Structure 1
Amino acid sequence: MTRSLPLRRAVFLGLFGFAAAPAYAQNIRPLGDDLILNVPPGFEAFEQPGRIELEQTRALRTPLSIWISASEPVALHSRLIHGRYGDIRYTVEAQEMDGSGGDFYELRARRILPDGREVGLLAYRQSERRPDFSVALDVLASVQLRDPS
């Protein structure tokens, strides 16, 4: 039985290439005294008083910056995201800027946790069109109570 070269390569990669690839461990960080959040791959977390700042570390032309806090309120927002954890409301505002990177966009979001607390998020990115803020919203959706044990 003869197999084509692409098929042999696919079988080789499937058996050996992916088995050796490292699994991405979750990078869980505390937010305040009793909350935790997941820092996505490619981001570095900096703890500041009352909040965590996440900066995209991979080489990008327009990196994403995220600030998340359980102690600083965020203004009310107009749109509800369905299909995520909790109640996430957000707005995206564009500020016209001169330069080759396009406009500067700001995402403001908030989520009410099951215990009634509000978690606020601000994210910034420069782009020529409305950027995808799904990573920032996923970070907000990942906030949960720390396991008491």
Structure 2
Amino acid sequence: MSGLLIGILLSHVVSGLIGIVGALFSPSAGKISDRKGTQFTVGINIVVIITAYTVLSILGFKLWGLIVGVILLDLGVQSCNVSNQARIHQLSEEARNRVTSVYIVSYFLGGSLGSYLGTFSFQHFSWIGVCVVGLLSQLVAGAVHISGSRHVG
């Protein structure tokens, strides 16, 4: 096999494994969310995502570092998604429909903005720029999370 073909095959295997890890951990995230509360779970997952970007910025130039970072990133994002959906399902049915719509639109707008900023950062600042943008986004998320915790509790 050529190097390109091996790379393509490896990327499909790795992305499949990463997806499986995320899918296997999602039920556990739901249980933790039920036990400890969604606010707690979201906070922990923001820390997991910050750890992922730290690993990616330091070790992302090695294949195993890239795999570990992406697995952590996927776990954190998927678990946050499960926790946020659990919060939404605690609302009344009328509110749940509206909030779900706002959540999904916000989720995709955030993903689009992140894709743009990641591409821009990679073009101008290389891999470290992408990781810095990811870290900054999670620092903002953490600040909003802590601010929201003070108002809720």
TM > 0.5 between the two? Answer: no
The TM-score, its normalising length taken from structure 2, stands at 0.26
Pair member with larger Rg: 1
- Between structures 1 and 2, the one with greater strand share: 1
The TM-score, its normalising length taken from structure 1, stands at 0.26
Higher relative contact order (CA 8 A, sep 6+): 2
- Between structures 1 and 2, the one with greater helix share: 2
